[in-house]
Chain A
Amino acid sequence: AQSVTQLDSQVPVFEEAPVELRCNYSSSVSVYLFWYVQYPNQGLQLLLKYLSGSTLVKGINGFEAEFNKSQTSFHLRKPSVHISDTAEYFCAVSSNTGNQFYFGTGTSLTVIP
């Protein structure tokens, strides 16, 4: 089975500063990795996903993530955050051998003006 750990439950950051949200996964098979964002009172929206190939994945709203197989990580980064980036961010994993989709517990990003 797969699992996901998001190490930071809350991350406050000042506007226009860079941010990194950490995600580590556990799996004995090849995985696919996803980052979703959940704005207040809205459903989850896909930011980006890693399926194969280049380990640096670019997503919407200026976010990017890097797949690191040796460290089993998939950290999310943005060089300069905006107030509108305040939301809950979820890392998720699925495998190529099953249908299950496992979410982490989420990281609440708060951008401070």
Chain B
Amino acid sequence: EAGVAQSPRYKIIEKRQSVAFWCNPISGHATLYWYQQILGQGPKLLIQFQNNGVVDDSQLPKDRFSAERLKGVDSTLKIQPAKLEDSAVYLCASSSSGVPTDTQYFGPGTRLTVL
């Protein structure tokens, strides 16, 4: 079974530029998560999708971050404009149904450096 795919793996941009990350979850998984992992910290949930609807985006900085999962499969996370403090690893995860007992399967992440 193929795992969660993410691209690109690395991205370097200057502040105020825009950037987008892509995630393809495990086939058949209804729930998709985006996390931000700043160096030295644990992952922080940014947004959770159930199929193509948003379940929780309470920690997403909506003035600069946006995410979509239009067809209920793959997803993109965008930052516009980027700030220095956005430098982090962005992790995508998926689970079969999204209930709290579900195992989340993580992709390798995209490491973003904002200069």
List A residues at the B interface (Cβ < 8 Å).
Answer: 4, 32, 36, 41-46, 49, 51, 90, 92, 94-96, 98-106
List B residues at the A interface (Cβ < 8 Å).
Answer: 3-4, 33, 40-45, 48, 55-56, 91, 93, 98, 100-101, 103-109
Q: Of A49, A96, A103, which contacts B43 at CB under 8 A?
A: A103
Compute how far the CA of A48 lies from the CA of B27 in the bound complex, rounded to whole angstroms.
Answer: 23
Dominant secondary structure at the A interface:
strand
Q: List 23 A-B contacts (CB under 8 A).
A: A4-B42, A32-B101, A36-B106, A41-B108, A43-B3, A43-B4, A43-B93, A43-B107, A43-B109, A46-B104, A49-B103, A90-B42, A90-B43, A99-B56, A101-B33, A101-B100, A101-B104, A103-B42, A103-B43, A103-B44, A105-B40, A105-B41, A106-B40
Nearest Cβ on chain B to A32's Cβ, whole angstroms? 6
Q: Of A42, A96, A99, A104, which contacts B108 at CB under 8 A?
A: A42
In the complex formed, the residue of A with least CB distance to B48 is A99
Asked whether, in the complex, the Cβ of B100 is within 8 Å of the Cβ of A96, the reply is yes
Compute how far the CA of A42 lies from the CA of B11 in the bound complex, rounded to whole angstroms.
Answer: 16
In the complex formed, the residue of A with least CB distance to B44 is A103
Compute how far the CA of A96 lies from the CA of B99 in the bound complex, rounded to whole angstroms.
Answer: 8
